[in-house]
Amino acid sequence: MNEESSIPFEGERASRSAESVLKVRDLTRLAKEVLENSFPSVIVEGEISNFKRHMPSGHLYFTLKDEEAQVRCVMWRSDAARVRFDVADGMKVIVKGRVSLYEPRGDFQLYAVSLVPAGQGALQLAFEQMKKKLEEEGLFSEEHKKPLPRFPSRIGIVTSLEGAAVRDIISVIGRRFPAVELLIFPVKVQGDGAAEEVAAAIRDINKMSDLDVLIVGRGGGSLEDLWAFNEEIVARAIYASKIPVVSAVGHQVDFTISDFVADVRAATPSAAAELVVPDRMEVTAGIASAMRVIRRAVGQNIDRLELELEKLSHHYALRQPLSLVDQKSQMVDELARRMESQTQFYVETVENKLSAFTKHLNALSPAAVLARGYAIVEDSRGIVSSVRKLNIGDQATIRLSDGTLDSQITGKHEQGI
């Protein structure tokens, strides 16, 4: 068996001698070149699993899989920065990228350059994710929203100078309430850096204490055009504003995160202008109406007072004032006499009661009892109330109405009186 087994080995050695022997690194490099040349750009749909954002590099690592296979994916930080939504496990996505090989491990990998949700736009998904996050934090709470002033004197406007929005706001406010002062803070409203400019303007404006209301917005456009007003940095700047904020982004059908955070949402920039100032014609008409009501009320009040004055001028007290004084004086005399009579009666009643009480006390007095022939017997311990308290030979004092007698007990007779 040793000889037979050595035959293919010898043949194999002979075959290999006719070919070059590759090192592992050479093989992986060749495979990498083949893959990259064969698949310079591919679009793959699958489900994300094992997702991880590496910190601090910011690179994304995940696995893209379906029911039968899976492939490792890498997305560099520069490409990941363009992803508008939060990537998570279980999310179905469409990945565009290139196929290659990670040489140190010989891993077949897909290097992603773009990532969008399957069946849903990336921006729409990012919008829903941001809306849910900020709503859960309470940034949309009605309790936090501030009322708009009825008659503002200074209004701030954060928007672009190049769009129609600023012209519409100026035109509407000038027509409705020209007395108000407008301060325009020009910013980019779309593209890179727009959200940062809008947020910075809102923060800077809040350092001014003399603004009454702030309009933040722009004209209409696509979801991507309006995206600066969906950014978290703008939402938080609006929420932190001490000045009431009116969001005026796009058209009536457009909704942004700024609309939900702002104190008031306007359907359009022109509608925002109508919300922040009253119509001077309506105010003038209201003042005129109020003046008519005041004049009518004052006139009615004057008529009522004149009627009361007329009645008072014919009152008896004004026609015969001294007679009324005499009547009141007589009433005082009658009351005095009545009080004197009642006082005398009360004094006599009290004196009678006092006399009767005195007689009753005198009748109960020990002196009165002794005057009727009774005597009080006392020994060294006090009054003797019973013959049992004295014995033969005891000394006793007998108190009569006109003096006392010293005595000695010579006999005892216990019987009733």
Residue 238 lies in a domain: yes
Using the 8-state DSSP alphabet, how is residue 402 labeled? T
In whole angstroms, give the CA distance from residue 89 to residue 70: 14
Same domain, 154 and 176: yes
User: Is the domain of 214 the same as that of 235?
Assistant: yes
My answer on whether 187 and 270 are in the same domain is: yes
**pLDDT at 157 (0 to 100):** 94
Cis peptide before 104 (omega within 30 of 0): no
Which residues make beta-bridge pairs with 406? 397
Tokens at residue 201, please? 């303007």
In the predicted structure, residue 5 carries a pLDDT above the cut 60 = no
Cα(125)–Cα(116) distance, integer angstroms? 9
Total count of domains within the chain: 3
Same domain, 227 and 134: yes
84 in the same domain as 59:
yes
**Looking at per-residue confidence, does 210 or 275 come out higher?**
275
pLDDT digits (tens, 9 = 90+) for 238-261: 999 999 999 999 887 778 999 999
Condensed to tens digits (0 to 9), the pLDDT of residues 346-377 reads: 888 888 888 888 877 777 777 777 777 778 88
pLDDT digits (tens, 9 = 90+) for 93-152: 888 888 888 888 878 888 999 887 776 566 777 788 888 889 999 999 999 999 999 999
Residue 320's pLDDT is what?
66
Give yes or no: residues 47 and 138 share one domain: no
**Nearest to residue 258, comparing CAs of 272, 276, 273, 245?**
245
Query: Helix or strand or coil: residue 377?
Result: strand
Task: Let me know: does 381 contact 390? Beta carbons within 8 Å.
Answer: no
Query: In this structure, what are the phi and psi dihedrals at residue 191, rounded to the nearest 5 degrees?
Result: 90, 180
CA 362 to chain centre: 84
- pLDDT confidence tier of residue 2, bands split at 50, 70 and 90: very low
Helices (H), 241-393: 257-261, 269-276, 280-313, 316-319, 321-363, 366-371
Domain limits for position 385: 369-408
Give the helix/strand (H/E) hosting 240: helix 232-240
Could you say which of 75, 98, 120 is where a domain stops? 120
One domain for residues 88 and 160 = no
131 and 273 in a single domain? The answer is yes
Domain shared by 184 and 103, yes or no: no
Give the residues across from 44 on adjacent strands: 95
In which band, very low, low, confident or very high, does the pLDDT at 395 lie, cut at 50, 70 and 90?
confident
Q: Which of 128, 186, 135 is CA-nearest to residue 156?
A: 186
Strand ranges of the sheet holding 382-383, from the earlier edge strand across to the other edge:
382-383, 376-379, 395-400, 403-408
Q: Which of 228, 245, 278 is the last residue of a domain?
A: 278
User: In this structure, are 98 and 145 located in the same domain?
Assistant: no
List pLDDT tens digits, range 316-353: 666 666 666 777 788 888 888 888 888 888 888 888 88
Residue 179: pLDDT band by 50, 70, 90 thresholds?
A: confident
b/e for 241-255, b at 16 or more Cβ within 10 A? bebbbbbbbbeeebb
Best CA proximity match to 256, nearest among 286, 223, 216, 283: 223
Q: Cβ of 230: how many Cβ atoms within 10 Å?
A: 23
Model-level pTM?
Answer: 0.51
Q: Are residues 49 and 166 in the same domain?
A: no
- Bridge partners (DSSP) of residue 117 are 93
The reply to whether 8 falls in a domain is no
pLDDT digits (tens, 9 = 90+) for 283-318: 777 778 888 888 888 888 888 888 888 787 776 666
pLDDT of 55-106, one tens digit each? 888 899 999 988 888 899 999 998 888 887 788 887 888 888 888 888 888 7
Average pLDDT, the chain: 83
Q: What is the pLDDT of residue 350?
A: 86
pLDDT of residue 4: 43
12, 34, 35, 73, 105 from 28: Cα distances, Å = 23, 10, 10, 18, 9
Q: Are residues 56 and 96 in the same domain?
A: yes
